[in-house]
Structure formats: structure tokens, C-alpha cells
Chain A
Amino acid sequence: MSVLEIKDLHVSVETDQGTKQILRGVDLTINEGEIHAIMGPNGSGKSTLAYTIAGHPKYHVESGSILLDGAEVLKMTVDARARAGLFLAMQYPVEIPGVTVTNFLRTAKTAIEGEAPPIRTWIKDVRQAMTDLRMDKAFAERNVNEGFSGGEKKRNEILQLELLKPKFAVLDETDSGLDVDALKIVSEGVNRAKTNTGLGLLLITHYTRILRYIHPDFVHVFVNGRIAEQGGPELADRLEDEGYDRFLVPSNVG
């Protein structure tokens, strides 16, 4: 069984004002097949955690480690992490000029599998996944994310999740900017991927509404660069009612 372990992770970025500490000791273990939701206010460092797992060069790991089945992820290049089975659905997917979705998907699949996928079944798989996500066929020939609406970009991320079949996926605010229909479609896609491959999920979100469709096993409250509290799905309901306020004001009780 696969496991992703994040241990005492400290991360900073360089800003014009100097080095800025963002993650201040994150500990988190995700087993295959588990769904972990991370909820937290703006600027608490959720995306930083996601990008650090994926290996974005902007983020400097000061200390700590990330292990995938015991192997140190922090020593791997960005592409090696993806080939090892990690996937990041980005909060703001990037537009790639000159590269069609079809071409991109095939190239990524080939890179991850180490060989080109058999053409017939691959084309069928891509079509099926696009149909499931209610993506028009025309998207296949468009350049990656170029001129896509916010919702279309998110679907395109989940399309990749379904086709690339990672062991662990981090979904960074995949629910943001989706109307309720799109939210259902995208959630179905995530659930399908989980049923098909049994992947582990780290679901970063601001709101509880996606948790109606994707049911977390664990909920972590992320505040000021670390996990402030964790619990089961009931914690999400509490956050829905109370918001993050009680984590934000320094407590002077007892």
C-alpha cells in the first residue's frame, strides 16, 4: 500500500521584502485510498504546501521531508515526482501556447508510463473521459488552457487526473469558480478516479460545499502555515458554521 508522508515541513519564499516564512512545520500522512481535506483561510499557505509537494522552484524547503513510499520526494525533479505518482491539480492552470490538449495528454501519458500508450485504447479513453466531464470534443484540438474559462480549466485538470492515474493527487481549490453543475461533474470525475485507481487525495478547499460530493475521511484546518486542528468530516461542518475565526484570534482562554 502506498503512503505519502509529510514531516515537519518548513518552507519559505523570496520576496522583495526578503525571505518570507510560509509553512511552519507541517505534518501529514496520507494513505492510498484516503481522502484528506485541507481547509483554511486565504494566505494560510495551502497552495504553498501543494506547490512544494509538486516541486515548484519558487518555494524553498528549509527543513523537513516528504516521503513517497519511503523515497525522498524533495530530492526529485518536478517531472520525476509526477512519474513517481504525484499529481497536482492547480488552482490556476497555466496556458501553453502551441500545444494542443491531445498532443499534451499523449506526451504526458507517454512520459509517465515510460512508453507510448496503445493508440486505439488511448483515443477511446480520452474520448470517454472528456464525455464524462462534459467537455466538448473541440477541446482536444485547442491549445492547453488557452482561452478556457475558469471552469473549463478545472475540468481539464481533472481530465488529466483521470487519464494519468497518479497514486496521490493534490487538488488545489479545484472547486473554486465552479457553478453547482460543474462542481458535480468535477466531483464525479474525482470520485471516478478514486474508484478506478484507489488513489489518495489531498483536497484543498476554502468551502465545505465540495465536501458534499467528495467525502473526506479526515479534515485538517490549516492556519498560519501549519495544521491547527484535525478531525473527521464533522470538523468541516463545524467550520461551515463557525468559520475560521476561533483559529485566527490568539486564544487567551485558560
Chain B
Amino acid sequence: MSAASALSKSASKTVPAPSTPAAESVLPAGQHGIKEHSDGRFGYVPVQTRSDRFKSVNVADFEAVTGREAVWKHSPVAKFTDLTAGGLDGSRYPVESTPSADISVAWVPRTDARIGTAGLPEERAAANAWSVFDDALAITVSGEEAKEITVTRSALGINARGAHTIIEAKPFSQATIILQNTGEARLSENIEIILGESANLTVVSLQEWDDSAVHLANHFASVGRDARLKHVVVSLGGSIVRVNPSVRLAGPGSDTLLLGLYFADAGQHLEQQVYVFHDAPKSRSRVNYKGALQGQDARTVWIGDVLIGNKAAGTDSYEQNRNLVLTEGTRADSIPNLEIETGDIVGAGHASATGRFDDEQLFYLQARGITEEEARRLVVRGFLTEVVQQIGSPELEARLQLAIEAELIGTDDK
């Protein structure tokens, strides 16, 4: 699918992300089920090009959040006014990390030169966090050998917090960084990810919070020449989890794969606003987010913005989001947006589909002796495995498969 081919070469233009039949048929559940393309943003025209959004590190520069703003309109803003309007605790918090040579984990002062180099806040919760943090947690990768580190936060407590993290991969370095989040939290945070020339970095952000947790995160990545970022958001636990990755493909030949996997059960709000900015020639991006929804008021939001800037000749991009609805009473919003400011592109496309695992499918599997519970497990596992398998960390992949099964069973018990 080349949405680009139809576009004029001139000014910035937004492809209004039509819900094409082709895209929907990719998820065959549509045959029997539904697609819930979100709130009819057909004909929606953004006020400005995505890269022109207002940015500031100063919370006072943002109006109070009403819930009508583009960035907030899908979120239950009334449930986290402490994070958008209140004073936050910006002090250091307990963090554990597995040992790894060539990866340092240390607290650094606000004056660290890297801060602010990958991106700046575009909304109030992010700016609020930026205004308060005392020190930033810096994870610095060097060395060309492949290596993995897990950095765990499990004792943030129920105080409203603001935090800042820097992940830097030096030129030519290589690593997988797993950010593991468990326990209680009311957290707004910014994570800057900086990839030097030819670095090869995988960042996995794993949200397995307690049921009551609220987590608002903005990840800002800057990918240098010929560098490769694989970024993975896995959201399973928490009451409200909103992880918004923005990736700027800053150097020629830079490449990113953005993966996401989420499983919302009853009452959970899981949101991700993904933004890829092709700001250099020959840059490449792939976005693939998959989610499952099960239980009353399970809610997911995916917004995928891709901007191909006027400097980005010869780029190739594709983004997709698929949701699998397992029960009644859920809502999945899926909104792809593609903006193209250059006529010279190799490929640009998007797909979005929400399919239902329906009674006919269930009947078919059961008619072959498979129990209802097993049938659901089979379908969900099959659906989400595609993303899990691309993470590239065998141990983590195995653990996630189990976590997904636990999600399924968890709701069966309710």
C-alpha cells in the first residue's frame, strides 16, 4: 500500500488515515466480527504539522488540562490531576539493575549536557515531571559486544512523582535495555534515548504495575546516522498506563522498529501515542502495535503519527496497529496519521484493524474438542506472538508468553 503515491509533492499534507477494506481484511475476524474504527476522525485535519507542536520544559507554559486537548482527549484526565496539576516528588527513587560490563547506571545532575537533546515536553504532565526532577537516572552504553541489562523499579510508592531518565548508546555500541516496572506508582516521567552513529540499541519498557498504578511516560529518542533503535512497549499491569514514544530519525540511514504489546482487562486504560519523525534521508521505520482487550471497560488507545519531513528523501515507513477484542464492553481506539512533506519516498503505509474473537470462532475450536479457556488462549497467544518474537531476548520472550497467559486466566477468574 502506498499512501504516498497519490500525494502532491508540495506542501505538507495529512493523509486522513482511511479505514481501507484492505487493511481491515488483514484481520480475518472482521468477517464475522466488527471493526471499531475510532471516533470518526475522517476528515480530521491537524491544527499544525506534528513537528510544530508547542514544546516547553516549563510546566507554567501549559494551560491546565481539560481533557479536550488532542493529546489528552482519549485519556481519563480527571483520574490523574495530581500528575498534571499537582506538585510532584522529583527525588531519587530505589532502582535495581543487573550487572553488565560496558553499561553504567548512575544518577546525574540536571545540568548533564545530554538532557534535552532528544526531545522536549509537548504536554503538561511531561513538563511537570521535567520541572521537578532533582537528578536524572543515566544509563550509558558503550562497547560493541551485544549485552543485556534489566533496570527495575518496584518501590515507587503512591506519592505522585516526576522522573527523568537518559539512555545513551555511544557510537557503534550495542545493547538491550529492559526497563521493568512493578509495584505501586503515580508517575509522570520523561525518558530520553540517544543513539550515536551506528549504535544498535533495544529498549524494552515493561509495565507490570499493580492494579492501582498510574503511569504517564514520554519517551524521546534521537537516532543518529546508520543507527538502529528497536523500541518495545509492553503494557500489562496498571490502572492507567500511557506510554508515548517519539522517535526522531535524525541521521541518514537511521532505522527504527517500534513494537508494542498490550493487554487491557476490565477497567484498565492502556494508551500509546507513537510518533515517528523522519528527519533525514534514507531513514526507515516500522511500527507494529498489537493489543488484546478483555472485560468490562477495558480500554485501549493507539495513535500512530508518522511525519516524513522535507529533508527525508528516500524513506520507507509502515505502521500498523491491530486489536483483538475478546469480550463485550471494551473499547479500542486506533488512529493512524501519516504526514508527508516530500515527494521522494520509497514507501509509506499504514494499517489499522480491530477484530473480534467471536462466538463462531469459539464454536469452531470447541467443536474440535478444545475447551473455551484453551481456545481463547490459543487465539490470543497466536495473535500476540508475532510481536513477542521480535523482541529478540529469549528469556524475556518466554516470560512474556507466560505473563500473557496469566492475563487471560486473571480475567477468567473475575
Contact = CB atoms under 8 A, between A and B. Distances in A.
A135 to B, nearest CB: 17
A164 to B, nearest CB: 7
A82 B367 contact: yes
B378 A103 contact: yes
Contacts of B385: 98
Given A95-B28, A95-B31, A96-B361, A112 B369 contact: yes
A78 B28 contact: no
A98 B363 contact: no
Tell me the interface secondary structure of chain B in the complex.
helix
Contacts, number: 94
Interface string B343-378: 000000000000101011101111111111010001
B370 A97 contact: no
B369 A79 contact: yes
A111 B379 contact: no
A94 B360 contact: yes
A2 interface: no
B368 A111 contact: yes
B401 to A, nearest CB: 13
A90 B359 contact: no
B361 A94 contact: yes
B369 A82 contact: yes
B382 interface: yes
A143 interface: yes
B366 A147 contact: no
A131 to B, nearest CB: 21
Given A79-B369, A98-B324, A143-B28, A57 B382 contact: no
A57 B370 contact: no
A33 interface: no
A58 B62 CA distance: 55
B364 A93 contact: yes
B380 A78 contact: no
A108 interface: yes
B368 A164 contact: yes
A145 B368 CA distance: 14
The binding surface of chain A is classed by DSSP as mixed
B195 interface: no
Interface string A92-109: 011111111001100110
Given A98-B385, A100-B382, A103-B378, A54 B28 contact: no
Contact of B374 (A56, A82, A87, A111): A111
Nearest to B33: A97
B29 interface: yes
A145 B372 CA distance: 19
B412 to A, nearest CB: 15
A88 B371 CA distance: 16
A97 B355 contact: yes
A107 B370 contact: yes
Contacts of B31: 95
Interface residues of A, number: 33
B371 A94 contact: no
Contacts of A112: 368-369
Contacts of B374: 107, 111
Among B28, B324, B365, B369, find the residue whose CB has the most chain A CB atoms closer than 10 A: B369
A97 B324 CA distance: 9
Contact of B379 (A78, A88, A97, A145): A97
A219 to B, nearest CB: 26
Given A104-B378, A146-B28, A111 B370 contact: yes
A98 B383 contact: yes
Interface string B304-346: 0000000000000000000010000000000000000000000
A77 interface: yes
A83 B385 CA distance: 28
A146 B383 CA distance: 13
Contact of A79 (B29, B360, B372, B381): B372
Contact of B364 (A87, A94, A143): A94
A48 interface: no
Contacts of A82: 366-369
A90 B363 CA distance: 11
B364 A90 contact: yes
15 contacts: A54-B363, A79-B368, A79-B371, A79-B372, A97-B27, A97-B324, A97-B361, A97-B382, A98-B379, A103-B378, A108-B370, A111-B371, A111-B374, A112-B368, A145-B28
Given A79-B367, A98-B324, 13 more contacts: A56-B363, A57-B363, A79-B366, A79-B368, A79-B370, A79-B372, A81-B367, A87-B367, A95-B31, A97-B27, A97-B324, A97-B382, A111-B370
